[in-house]
Amino acid sequence: MTIYHNSLTVKIGLFMIVSVLLVVFLFPFYYALITSFKSGSSIFEVSFFPEKLTLENYIAVFEEQPFGKNFLNSLTISIASGLISLLFGMTAALPLGRFRFKGQRLILLAVLIISMFPQVAVLSGMFELIRALGLFNNWLGLVLCYLIFTLPFTVWVLTTFIRNLPVEVEEAAILDGANPWVLLTKIFFPMMRPAIITTSLLVFVVAWNEFLFAMTFTLSNHQRTLPVAIALISGGSQFEVPWGKIMAASAIVTVPMIALVLIFQRQIVSGLTTGAVKG
């Protein structure tokens, strides 16, 4: 389609489509940001440009609940589940992507099926598991149950990547007598850096955004993750929803994600396509 944009009408048409898409997809964030800087009754008056900026809502978010702690919880849990799935995913991806053995198809298929489990279908069993391990209302419990979607995803993306690496290097290493462990740590780790960066990014985003498990398996304000904390921000009654505070909290969560997307755009896109197209 790159060929047809010589004429002026096509250029104008493209410009209009791009503008409409940008407005539709970015205006909500802009509007949330404007609302977050308003206070009192001005929140309920629609305006498209900030008039009087106040940080009242931002201060309230941190003062009226342990939002900083929630932020730390989300960060710790996302990083921990990312690291664990990378470690186990990497060891599994080597044999799945490179070796040939009986049962290989079956394991790949099982990994695929598990990645499609509906979360609700494992909710009661997961509750039992978390309770049995004494991890209810504990961030470690969330790290554990997030592995149900982070690990299959990691295995899948890394397996696809390993399979596409050149065979020659590996053969040379085998001729030199390298065992599978050396093969993994000395040959594949360095070659897989781009895949590792991509997978950790995606796993981080998925864990950072998770809601159902986090809401069901935490009880106290201090143990909650960001999405749950935001979902539970409420006012004195059903009719006094503190929209300013909710928008301030949303902005705080959104800004790091925008930075992440801007910096790692290429890696995220490549990870999404391998993760989804092939799995």
Partner 1 sequence: MEQRLKSEDTKLSYQKRKVYSAWLLLLPMLVVLLIVAIWPLCYTFFYAFTDASLSTLTNYSFIGFDNFLVQDNGCWYGLVADPLWWYSVWNTIVFAIGSVVIEILLGTIIALVMHTKFIGCSLFRAAMLIPWAIPTVVSAKIWNWMLHDQFGVIDYILVKLQLIANPISWLADHNLTMLTVILVDSWKTAPFVAMLVLAALQMLPNDCYEAAKVDGVHPIKVFFGITLPLIRPALIVAVLFRLIEALRIFDVVYIMTGSAESTMTMSVYARQNLVNFQDLGYGSAASTMLFIVIFFIIAPCLAIMRVDVMKEVH
CA distance 202 to 261: 11
**Is 91 a binder of partner 1 (CB under 8 A)?**
yes
**Is 186 a binder of partner 1 (CB under 8 A)?**
no
Kindly give, in sequence order, each residue whose CB lies less than 8 Å from that of residue 219, ignoring residues fewer than 6 positions away: 136, 137
**Is 148 a binder of partner 1 (CB under 8 A)?**
yes
Among 53, 55, 87, 172, contact with partner 1 (rule: CB under 8 A): 87
Shortest distance (Å) from residue 253 CB to partner 1: 5
**Of residues 166, 199, 254, the one with CA closest to residue 84:** 199
**Is 22 a binder of partner 1 (CB under 8 A)?**
yes
Among 72, 75, 107, 191, contact with partner 1 (rule: CB under 8 A): 107
Shortest distance (Å) from residue 69 CB to partner 1: 17
Shortest distance (Å) from residue 181 CB to partner 1: 8
**Is 167 a binder of partner 1 (CB under 8 A)?**
no
Shortest distance (Å) from residue 29 CB to partner 1: 7
Among 55, 131, 134, 172, contact with partner 1 (rule: CB under 8 A): 131
The residue among 55 and 263 lying less far from partner 1, judged by its C-beta, is 263
Among 2, 220, 237, 238, contact with partner 1 (rule: CB under 8 A): 2
Per-residue CA distances from 105 to 99, 167, 235 (Å): 12, 20, 53
**Is 205 a binder of partner 1 (CB under 8 A)?**
yes
Among 49, 52, 100, 240, contact with partner 1 (rule: CB under 8 A): 100
The interface with partner 1 within residues 223-252 (CB under 8 A) comprises 226-228, 230-231, 243, 246-247, 250
**Is 125 a binder of partner 1 (CB under 8 A)?**
yes
**Is 189 a binder of partner 1 (CB under 8 A)?**
no
**Is 113 a binder of partner 1 (CB under 8 A)?**
yes
**Is 49 a binder of partner 1 (CB under 8 A)?**
no
For partner 1, which stretch binds (CB under 8 A), given 49-57, 61-69, 165-173, 179-187?
A: 179-187
Q: Which two tokens stand for residue 168?
A: 């020659």
Question: Per residue, what are the HEC states of the chain?
Answer: CCCCCCCHHHHHHHHHHHHHHHHHHHHHHHHHHHHHCCCHHHHHCCCCCCCCCCCHHHHHHHHCCCHHHHHHHHHHHHHHHHHHHHHHHHHHHHHHHHCCCCCHHHHHHHHHHHHCCCHHHHHHHHHHHHHHCCCCCCHHHHHHHHHHHHHHHHHHHHHHHHHCCCHHHHHHHHHCCCCHHHHHHHHHHHHCHHHHHHHHHHHHHHHHHCCHHHHHCCCCHHHCCHHHHHHCCCCCCCCCCCHHHHHHHHHHHHHHHHHHHHHHHHHHHHHHHHHHHCC
**Is 172 a binder of partner 1 (CB under 8 A)?**
no
**Is 163 a binder of partner 1 (CB under 8 A)?**
yes
**Is 76 a binder of partner 1 (CB under 8 A)?**
no
